[in-house]
Amino acid sequence: MDQNLADKSGGDAGRVIALYEAHRESIYRFLVGQGLNPASAQEVTQDVFVDLFITLQKGAEVKSEQGWLYTVAGRAAVDYWRRESRGRWVEVEAAAHAAASVSSVGVNPEAWAGRRERMAQVAASMARLPKEQRLCIHLRMQGLRYREIAKILGVSTSTAAEWLASAVGRLRGESDA
């Protein structure tokens, strides 16, 4: 093997390993949030990082690594659902069940019931949002900026901002009702 290729390969591997350690969990949660079951989400997460390694080996420049990872993960989720030939609805009721199993010190049962009811309302409101708006909210919750969200979704920054503002407005409107 050519020494330059070996050096490049080792550098790319180290870079991918560092990115894997930093972003694996958030990419996995993103994919689960897109409706993939945990085993499939884990497999697709690994595939995303393998794709990154291959891309770097080919000499491609990756400017925003986090944006690249979410873009590829989003496309992989779409491909997964195409293969599965099912809808892309995400069951958000699972989040309400998970929240119900967490015990809290000092919260009385009435307050807990109110919180659980509120979580169920938010989950139902989220489920009614168009998929683009749900995805915008999820990506924003992951800490991505508007331009990174726009790049992942393949739209302009203003469109991503508009979708996010619309989603937040709809959620607020439903919570006030």
Tens of pLDDT, residue by residue over 77-124, are 878 877 876 544 555 555 555 555 555 555 667 777 777 787 777 778
Number of domains in the chain: 2
Shared domain check, 12 and 78: yes
- Residue 150 sits in a domain whose CATH number is 1.10.10.10
For 37-49, what is each residue's pLDDT tens digit? 899 999 999 999 9
Average pLDDT of the chain is: 79
pLDDT over 60 (residue 13) = yes
What integer pLDDT is reported at residue 91 of this predicted model?
55
- Who has greater pLDDT, 95 or 157? 157
In whole angstroms, what is the distance from residue 102 CA to residue 31 CA? 23
Please indicate, yes or no, whether residues 10 and 80 belong to a single structural domain of this protein. yes
Q: pLDDT-derived band of residue 163, with 50, 70 and 90 as boundaries?
A: very high
Shared-domain flag, residues 126 and 65: no
- Mean pLDDT, rounded, for 55-80: 86
65 in the same domain as 129: no
Helix count and strand count (H, E) for the chain:
8, 0
Picking from 116, 100, 109, 124, the residue whose alpha carbon sits closest to that of residue 175 is 124
Share of the chain above pLDDT 90, in %: 21
Is residue 17 domain-shared with residue 69, that is, in the same domain?
Answer: yes
Q: Give pTM, 2 decimals.
A: 0.53
Looking at the domain assignment, is residue 154 inside a domain? Answer: yes
Q: Identify whether residues 129 and 79 lie together within a single domain.
A: no
Please tell me the predicted confidence (pLDDT) of residue 10: 63
Residue-number span of the structural domain to which 150 is assigned: 113-176
Tokens at 25, concatenated:
């969990």
Residues 73 and 137 in one domain: no
Residue 96 lies in a domain: no
Q: What's the pLDDT score for residue 107?
A: 60
Residue 20 belongs to some domain of the structure = yes
The b-or-e profile of 103-131 (16+ CB within 10 A means b, else e) is eeeeeeeeeeeeeeeebbebbebbeebee
Question: Is 117 found in the same domain as 45?
Answer: no
The amino acid at residue 16 is: V
79 shares its domain with 8 = yes
Task: Tell me what pLDDT residue 159 has.
Answer: 93
pLDDT of residue 78: 79
| Integer Cα distance of 147 and 52 in angstroms | 21
